[in-house]
Structure 1
Amino acid sequence: MAGRPSLDRRAVHEELERARVEFHSLLDAADKTALNRPTRGTRWNNEQLLFHILFGYMVVRALLVLARIFGRLPQGVGTAFARLLGTTTKPFDVINYLGPCAAIHIYGHRRMGAKCDRVIAALHRSLDAETEADLGRGMHYPVRWDPFFTDFMTLADLYRYPTQHFFFHRLQLTLAP
């Protein structure tokens, strides 16, 4: 982590909580008609995009585990893994699109709020448990998978990622604030 500023944990906790509150506000204010309304610039409706946003928080929990593992391996291993993942961009895009289309039939907007609470609570707990050394560990990522992925991301970067992802997609929702 040499040369990188320390993560402001309090700021990350506040970002996570702000996103959690806004996510609930969006869910609580949306009726079925609003949830079925198309979004701006995506093929999803509002309910599907809300799940995609939630999934951003869910996937970070898995990415944190991977980053802890790959952060202890020689850099070449992580670089090769990221390249391998990069070759699967087209299937990833299809799964990334179809996942929320299917998931809303399982979760629905009622269950998304509770899942959001659990996932963000888990992120709060894991962030509190991280050492400075852990926060500096990271791995390479396939940058074509997401506009917020960079070639190398530390655990500190990963804790900030889902909220960046949320507020980017928030602008695409056609729900009332």
Structure 2
Amino acid sequence: MDPLQEKIIVDYRRAVADLEYFLGQATPAELQNQSAGTKWTNEELLFHMVFGFMVTRTLLPLVRVVTKLPRSWRKGFARLLNAGTIPFDIANYWGSKLARRVYNRHRMATKLIKTTQSLLKQLGAETPVSLTQEMDFPTRWDPFFHTGMTLAELYTYPTLHFDFHARQLTLNTPPAPPHSQSR
């Protein structure tokens, strides 16, 4: 297996473990506390972190379709999505506030596990060539989206998003994984 694919697998598993840690350690009151630097509570932000994986799973088929379009159409599609940034931001904010009622502390980890399993199954079916498929993304939607993102970069996106927002939680952080020692 490709080293990048191995890293993606490790990162997805770590994200699941981190989420389980946050949910297992936090009290109901701590989950309702405000996060740092967002308008979400900790529980709403945790769902938003899971949502990054859900979005990735949804984007994969879109990338496969859009990459077949002429370059000018792909650029136009990204511009169209960028033009919809304000409605996207509103839906993103309220979606996380409302969805955490369904995917609350009791269901969130299961959702992330199922979503990462689905993503990893798809990743396992990728070829080195398919991972180079490239699509322009709406750069105003997320700081980790950029023009010319490959499928490989899309697979790495959810953990970048997860880790960024994990720093905004006002919860105890998971212990660092032990480093392997050389023999």
The count of corresponding residues between Structure 1 and Structure 2 is 172
Q: TM-score, normalised by structure 1?
A: 0.94
Are residues 1:111 and 2:107 paired? yes
Question: Identical aligned pairs, as a percentage?
Answer: 42
Are residues 1:152 and 2:148 paired? yes
Correspondence for 1:82? 78
Residues 82-133 of structure 1: CA deviation (Å, up to 9, x unaligned): 1011111111111111011101111211100100100011111111100111
**Kept after mapping to 2: 8 A contact 1:46/1:173:** yes
Distance in 2 of aligned mates of 1:20 and 1:39: 20
- Using the TM superposition, give the Cα deviation of residue 138 of structure 1 relative to its aligned residue in structure 2, in angstroms: 2.0
Are residues 1:49 and 2:49 paired? no
- What SS does structure 2 have at the residue aligned with 1:144? coil
Could you tell me which runs of 5 or more consecutive residues in structure 2 were left unpaired when the two chains were aligned. 174-183
Write the letter of the residue equivalent to 1:163: T
- What SS does structure 2 have at the residue aligned with 1:39? coil
- Using the TM superposition, give the Cα deviation of residue 176 of structure 1 relative to its aligned residue in structure 2, in angstroms: 1.1
Write the letter of the residue equivalent to 1:82: A
Moved over 4 A (4+): none
Structure having the higher helix fraction is 1
Pairs within 5 Å for 1:158-169: 158-169=154-165
Q: 1:133 aligns with which of 120, 124, 129?
A: 129
